[in-house]
Amino acid sequence: DVDVALAGRSYRVKVGPGLLERVHADAHSFIEPYGKRAVPVVADANAKRLHGERLQASFRSAGHSIDWYEVAPGESSKSWDELVRLTDWLLDRGVTRSDHVFALGGGVVGDLVGFACAILKRGCGFVQLPTTLLAQVDSSVGGKTAINAPAGKNLIGAFHQPSLVLADTTCLATLPQREMRAGLAEVFKYGILGDADFLARVDSESSAILACDDATLESVIAHCVGMKARVVAEDERETKDARALLNLGHTFGHALEAETGFSDRLLHGEAVALGMVLAARYSARRELISLADAERVADALARAGLPTEISALGLDCDGSTLAHHMRNDKKAEASTVPFILLRAIGEAFVARDVELADVAAFMDEQL
Ligand code: NAD
Ligand code: ZN
């Protein structure tokens, strides 16, 4: 277990197989106040179909029932329309500020429910039950919640920490391999940005992770959560550089996602893998690391089956179009944009002097 220690309060993140069957044991203090009222559980439709029964059994055995709210799978559910429907539904059920709403699903459901709970009656509690690898290692921990706006992803949101996170590794057995790999990119991220030994370990254990070996999953996910918990404890609202480092690969990656229309053509984790390779190669271009080190990063990701060459995407755009997307990214300032670069494998830092024109020229070479 990992504790996320924040000023004033902290919460627990549990990782392991079978946690959904025993949710009541870990979350009873958030369930008991409902008494005879049904407990609101907001679930991704696929997660509910595949894992809802295990959750329901745990509630039932403790004498509680579930009131399900189903969310259609996909990024388009992080919308104003869905937020209005969900908050109205929660209000209809009389959810109060001292109540907890349960979120079962990947990052989409976690981000949506977290934001709904941030604004419902000025803030009610929520419990994260992440069911994707990405959500278990990243999005369910740390309190960033958001929906998307026409102007861009995650532009409407709030910081709102969950009260408990239960990451049941059994859920990952039903996750499509492509989603598993996309989540693995964020696992690699922790190693590349801050822990070269962990990167070597993930590299050698990537097949065991993708095959959902329980012991490997549990220890690797707990390691990622531990790193994220330390960063969030140090820099909850990303006002220092610590939390920004978690965006390694994301400025490059978001530009690729924007250019592919945030569609199934390129999953977020795949974009992050490509983005980390670009960050490493751009660091080499700036002579911060050797080209050999940059290719070491790319090779590790490629061995895990992740994309590493943007030329293979067949994008119909040039480097300056991609640089333009980077400026539109929410972290943008004037003609320079803060980029997370590497001064060594396992040592990322925030570079504030990166000229977008130079990035555009670099991207032209990569396309
Ligand atoms: P997702 O929530 O869209 O889930 C991916 C797919 O897996 C969906 O089709 C879903 O139905 C399916 N699914 C979920 N659990 C399953 C299971 N156990 N078995 C089979 N299928 C299952 O995607 P994601 O990758 O989990 O999350 C992506 C989202 O997370 C993005 O919106 C991104 O912006 C957000 N995010 C947020 C943070 C944060 O700090 N808040 C960090 C990273 C990403
Ligand atoms: Zn990410």
Vertex 256: Cα angle to 250 and 257 (nearest 5): 80
Are both 10 and 122 inside the same structural domain?
yes
254 is catalytic: yes
Q: Report the Cα 253 to chain-centroid distance in Å.
A: 14
Residue having the nearest C-alpha atom to atom 35 of ligand 1: 107
Are both 291 and 347 inside the same structural domain?
yes
Instruction: Tell me the best of 13, 42, 46 to mutate to test the pocket of ligand 1, counting ligand atoms within 8 Å of each CB and taking the most.
Output: 46
Locate 259 and state its tokens.
Answer: 């250019």
Q: What is the number of other CB atoms lying within 10 angstroms of the CB of residue 353?
A: 9
247 is catalytic: yes
Query: Of 136, 154, 173, which marks where a domain is finished?
Result: 173
Q: Which pLDDT belongs to residue 333?
A: 56
Q: Is the CB of 79 under 6 A from ligand 1?
A: no
Look up the CATH number of the domain holding residue 74. Answer: 3.40.50.1970
Long-range contacts, stretch 265-270, CB < 8 angstroms, 24+ apart: 265/313, 266/313, 267/178, 267/179, 267/182, 268/107, 268/134, 268/182, 269/134, 269/179, 269/181, 269/182, 269/183, 269/184, 269/185, 269/186, 269/306, 270/181, 270/182, 270/185, 270/306, 270/307
C-alpha 275/C-alpha 279 separation (Å) is 6
Whole-model pTM: value is 0.96
Are both 270 and 153 inside the same structural domain?
no
pLDDT in tens, 224-248: 999 999 999 999 999 999 999 999 9
Are both 98 and 131 inside the same structural domain?
yes
46 is catalytic: no
Q: Which pLDDT belongs to residue 228?
A: 97
Are both 59 and 160 inside the same structural domain?
yes
Query: DSSP string covering 275-342, please?
Result: HHHHHHHHHHHTTSS-HHHHHHHHHHHHHTT----GGGGT-S--HHHHHHHHHHSTT-BTTB--EEEE
Query: Of 173, 197, 231, which marks where a domain is finished?
Result: 173
Locate 147 and state its tokens.
Answer: 């929906």
C-alpha 201/C-alpha 359 separation (Å) is 31
First to last CA, the chain: 43
Are both 204 and 294 inside the same structural domain?
yes
Q: What is the pLDDT along the chain (367 residues), one digit of tens a residue?
A: 999 989 878 999 999 999 999 999 999 999 999 999 999 999 999 999 999 999 999 999 999 999 999 999 999 999 999 999 999 999 999 999 999 999 999 999 999 999 999 999 999 999 999 999 999 999 999 999 999 998 888 999 999 999 999 999 999 999 999 999 999 999 999 999 999 999 999 999 999 999 999 999 999 999 999 999 999 999 999 999 999 999 999 999 999 999 998 889 999 999 999 999 999 999 999 999 999 999 999 999 999 999 999 999 999 999 999 999 998 765 555 677 899 999 999 999 999 999 999 999 999 999 9
Are both 149 and 188 inside the same structural domain?
no
Locate 222 and state its tokens.
Answer: 């707990």
Are both 255 and 282 inside the same structural domain?
yes
Q: Which pLDDT belongs to residue 336?
A: 79
* Rounded distance from Cα 110 to ligand 1 centre (Å): 8
* Host domain of residue 192: 177-366
310 touches 367 (CB < 8 A): yes
Closest by CA to 219, choosing from 137, 303, 131, 110, is 137
Q: Is the CB of 136 under 6 A from ligand 1?
A: no
Are both 122 and 8 inside the same structural domain?
yes
100 is catalytic: no
Are both 208 and 352 inside the same structural domain?
yes
Query: Given 22, 268, 281, 325, which residue is catalytic?
Result: 268
Minimum-distance ligand 1 atom for the alpha carbon of 153:
34
Handedness of CA 182, 116, 114, 66 (dihedral sign): negative
Are both 45 and 126 inside the same structural domain?
yes
Query: Of 120, 154, 173, which marks where a domain is finished?
Result: 173
Phi/psi at 16 (5° precision): 165, 170
214 touches 301 (CB < 8 A): no
How many domains does the structure of the chain reveal? 2
* Rounded distance from Cα 105 to ligand 1 centre (Å): 7
Q: Which pLDDT belongs to residue 329?
A: 67
Q: Is the CB of 105 under 6 A from ligand 1?
A: yes
Closest by CA to 188, choosing from 298, 105, 293, is 298
Type of residue at 199: L
Query: Given 22, 254, 281, 325, which residue is catalytic?
Result: 254
Locate 183 and state its tokens.
Answer: 């989540």
Which ranges constitute the DSSP H helices of the chain?
23-31, 45-61, 80-92, 107-119, 133-134, 177-194, 196-210, 214-234, 241-244, 250-259, 268-285, 291-303, 319-328, 356-366
Locate 33 and state its tokens.
Answer: 């106040």
Are both 358 and 214 inside the same structural domain?
yes
Query: Given 22, 78, 100, 186, which residue is catalytic?
Result: 186
Look up the CATH number of the domain holding residue 258. Answer: 1.20.1090.10
